[in-house]
């Protein structure tokens, strides 16, 4: 084991892949805003760099850091989470293959399966992943991949990563986990047997709502090479400035996640006792489906909270519009708190499908502001 791999999470987040610059001593990796690199004679590459779609030093720093914080051997950075997912699907699946996806997958992921890859002959079955018998029953001889999100967006459904890995491997398939909601600070799927971790780095890893990006991390070097080949061949790579922003965000992930978790716990306390709230979805609640699995495989319950309000869709929309400090907007995982109506916003693309979400549902991304200010804003918004 290298010295680095024995370091704690925060140390790896701040240092992995980020040795001070050899030429200048710069303590953070510079933004290599460059497309091509001088060769010292044909094929004489300095440090392996040739053209920035294939590799760029700022992106390399991020990719090494991603691998370290997810406990993998290879990280790859993409222009968005969906670009990462698309590259993964085109690497491990072919027309006629089958994928199991969560019954409440992220809307954009579902759309990628249903409207894009289905056209090219990739078959998929939405299954509630909390029900392992249903997962086993959905396996086909052609199943190549189980796509798992845990916790899910927006209902915070929990899936047992170790159990799904066993089912996938027993069927000769791979398990991919979208780890966006938990972040590697709270959950490391590769250590639980998953083959691939995917991130929308737009969310907690970036952490400041100022960049769109994606990532894949794997524990098998050969799979890493195949993914890297497709990353370059397809071309949806993260640019140097975006890579730098994500790398900068990751440095504070540990302290941010602690505060996201404690603020969310206080928000959940308020919501569970509020007369205008009929149901709260949060993996930290003892009666939340999958709570025991979440407590086993996560190191905290995260900053995402959803709830249903008395009075149906119109009241849910009114709560979203009355909130002030909780900014009305899509996305999640930034330092600022956000509120949204999944049915009309993030999950509008699954309306009418088997993944439709309740119309009285409100989703919060609890930020790291002062908790009393957040609670006061929510109390006012709830009326």
Ligand X SMILES: *Cc1c(COP(=O)(O)O)cnc(C)c1O
Window of 19-27, 74-82, 93-101, 312-320 that interacts with ligand X by CB under 6 A: 74-82
DSSP secondary structure code for residue 118 in this structure: G
Options 180, 219, 263, 297; binder of ligand X; rule CB under 6 A: 180
Window of 7-15, 116-124, 197-205, 365-373 that interacts with ligand X by CB under 6 A: 197-205
Q: How many CB atoms lie within 10 A of CB 200?
A: 29
Query: Rounded to the nearest whole angstrom, what is the least distance from the CB of residue 144 to ligand X in the complex?
Result: 20
C-alpha–C-alpha distance, residues 317 and 152, integer Å: 22
Longest Cα–Cα distance in the chain: 73
Asked if residues 297 and 290 have their Cβ atoms less than 8 Å apart, the reply is: no
Options 58, 188, 202, 297; binder of ligand X; rule CB under 6 A: 202
- Regarding 58 and contact with ligand X (CB under 6 A), the answer is no
Residue with smaller CB distance to ligand X, 320 or 382: 320
- Regarding 82 and contact with ligand X (CB under 6 A), the answer is yes
Interface mask toward ligand X for 138-157; x: CB under 6 A? -----------x---x----
C-alpha–C-alpha distance, residues 200 and 149, integer Å: 12
Query: Rounded to the nearest whole angstrom, what is the least distance from the CB of residue 108 to ligand X in the complex?
Result: 5
DSSP secondary structure code for residue 211 in this structure: -
Crossing angle of helices 312-322 and 371-382, rounded to 10°: 140
Residue 307 has, within 13 A of its CA and on its CB side, a CA count of 30
Neighbour-count burial for 122-133, b at 16+ CB within 10 Å, e otherwise: bbbbbbebbebe
Options 9, 49, 106, 244; binder of ligand X; rule CB under 6 A: 106
- Regarding 125 and contact with ligand X (CB under 6 A), the answer is no
Window of 35-43, 105-113, 133-141, 270-278 that interacts with ligand X by CB under 6 A: 105-113
Residue 72 to residues 52, 218, 224, 229, Cα–Cα distance (Å): 23, 5, 10, 18
C-alpha–C-alpha distance, residues 251 and 10, integer Å: 7
Residue with smaller CB distance to ligand X, 159 or 382: 159
Known catalytic residues?
53, 106, 178, 203
Interface contacts to ligand X, rule CB under 6 A: 80-82, 106, 108-109, 149, 153, 178, 180-181, 200, 202-203, 212, 214
């Amino acid at each position: 084991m290298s010295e680095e791999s024995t370091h704690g999470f925060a140390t790896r987040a701040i240092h992995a892949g980020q040795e001070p610059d050899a030429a200048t001593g710069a303590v953070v990796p510079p933004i290599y805003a460059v497309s091509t690199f001088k060769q010292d004679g044909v094929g004489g590459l300095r440090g392996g760099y040739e053209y920035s779609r294939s590799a760029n030093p700022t992106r390399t720093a991020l990719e090494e850091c991603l691998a370290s914080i997810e406990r993998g051997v290879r990280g790859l950075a993409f222009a968005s989470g969906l670009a990462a997912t698309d590259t993964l699907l085109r690497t491990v699946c072919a027309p006629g293959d089958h994928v199991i996806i969560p019954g409440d997958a992220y809307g954009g992921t579902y759309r990628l399966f249903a409207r894009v890859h289905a056209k090219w002959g990739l078959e998929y079955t939405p299954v509630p992943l909390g029900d392992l018998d249903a997962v086993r029953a959905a396996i086909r001889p052609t199943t190549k991949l189980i796509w798992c999100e845990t916790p899910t967006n927006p209902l915070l459904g929990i899936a047992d990563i170790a159990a799904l890995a066993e089912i996938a491997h027993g069927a000769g398939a791979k398990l991919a986990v979208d780890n966006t909601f938990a972040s590697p600070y709270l959950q490391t799927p590769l250590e639980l047997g998953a083959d691939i971790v995917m991130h929308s780095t737009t969310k907690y890893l970036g952490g400041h709502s100022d960049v769109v990006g994606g990532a894949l991390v794997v524990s098998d070097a050969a799979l890493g090479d195949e993914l890297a080949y497709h990353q370059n061949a397809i071309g949806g790579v993260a640019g140097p400035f975006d890579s730098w922003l994500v790398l900068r965000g990751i440095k504070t992930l540990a302290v941010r996640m602690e505060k996201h978790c404690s603020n969310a716990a206080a928000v959940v306390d308020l919501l569970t006792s509020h007369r205008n709230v009929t149901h709260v979805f949060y993996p930290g609640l003892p009666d939340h489906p999958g709570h025991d699995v979440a407590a086993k495989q996560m190191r905290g319950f995260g900053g995402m909270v959803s709830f249903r309000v008395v009075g149906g869709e119109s009241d849910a929309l009114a709560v979203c519009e009355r909130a002030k400090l909780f900014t009305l907007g899509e996305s999640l995982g930034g330092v600022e708190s956000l509120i949204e109506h999944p049915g009309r916003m993030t999950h509008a693309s699954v309306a009418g499908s088997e993944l439709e979400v309740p119309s009285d549902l409100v989703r919060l991304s609890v930020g790291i502001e002062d908790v009393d200010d957040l609670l006061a804003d929510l109390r006012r918004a709830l009326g």
